[in-house]
Amino acid sequence: MFSINPFSELSGFIPSIAMQIFVIVMIILVVGGTILDMIHKKNVKYFFENAKKAKEAATKTVSAGEKATIILKTVASDILTSSEFCTIQRRFAHLLGMYGTIIFWITSAIMIFNYSTPSSVTPTMIPMLWHVGAMMTCIGTLWFWFVIRVNVSAEGNPWYQVIFADLFVLSLFATQVTALLWSYLQATGATGWDSLFLVLFILSNIVLFGGVYWSKFAHMFYKPGAAIQKHLAEADGSNSNLPEPADKPKQFGLGIRREDPSNY
């Protein structure tokens, strides 16, 4: 199963051009959903107005070299290693989900655009990475869902309570768990069942990519910009118009982190 390209097997029934058009439509949905989201929330307008205000409140001039260093550090830390997360569990679960998804999407695109005919010979490494990526995402999103989610970890709600804000994490999980089950059923020759999971795989992708406007999907585009802006504002002294950090942070103990939230 791990070394089989499921899209090449599928091309016996669905032409590869249809799969490629599906991917292009999904990309268009993401771009469209993100643009509508930006128009609706006016977050980009707010971002630039805020950056302008911060510039006016700056107490230091940051040179181009310093800016480049800050941006590089933010990419290496906040973006590539999710250092923004306050606990190691949150950070690790996010890294699993983020890299799992990136690996899954890239290998899906490679297989669909280069190796999706019945005669295609796919390098074994690509379907292997596709399966590993999907498993990483499933572990990351399930960990988040059962343990880390604020509704469960802090508010004391049961894991099965679903709210609209869960659209992103649930549809992300659904795309990759149905992909794994489809691939497994296809490899074991479970005709009929494999078609069912293929349909579920397609539907969950339509929900994930078609739901960008309503879900948290677009955070993967906004968060990097916000992280860079935050660090630049720290360096130029404007500090996003926030008060200076306390000068004796450790003197009063752990504060809010003294105990786990259990006040419900």
45 lines the binding site for ligand HEM (CB under 6 A): no
Q: Residue 216 interacts with ligand HEM (CB under 6 A)?
A: yes
Three-state DSSP state, 96: helix
- Count how many Cα atoms sit within 13 Å of the Cα of residue 241 in the half-sphere of its side chain: 8
Q: Which of 10, 11, 33, 94 is in the footprint of ligand HEM by CB under 6 A?
A: 94
Is residue 142 within 8 A of residue 164, CB to CB? The reply is: no
Please give the Cα distance from 200 to 180 (Å, whole number): 11
- Spell 82-103 as b/e; 16+ CB within 10 A means b: bebbeeeebebbbbbbbbbbeb
- Which of the ranges 33-41, 57-65, 92-100, 247-255 carries the binding residues for ligand HEM, by CB under 6 A? 92-100
CB 167 → ligand HEM: shortest distance, Å? 8
Give the span between the Cα atoms of 118 and 5, in whole angstroms: 10
Q: Is position 73 an interface residue for ligand HEM (rule: CB under 6 A)?
A: no
Question: Residue 112 or 172: which CB sits closer to ligand HEM?
Answer: 172
Binding string, 122-161, against ligand HEM, x = CB under 6 A? -------------------x--x-----------------
User: Where do contacts with ligand HEM occur on this chain (CB under 6 A)?
Assistant: 78-79, 84, 94, 97-98, 101-102, 141, 144, 166, 168-169, 172, 216, 219-220, 223-224, 227
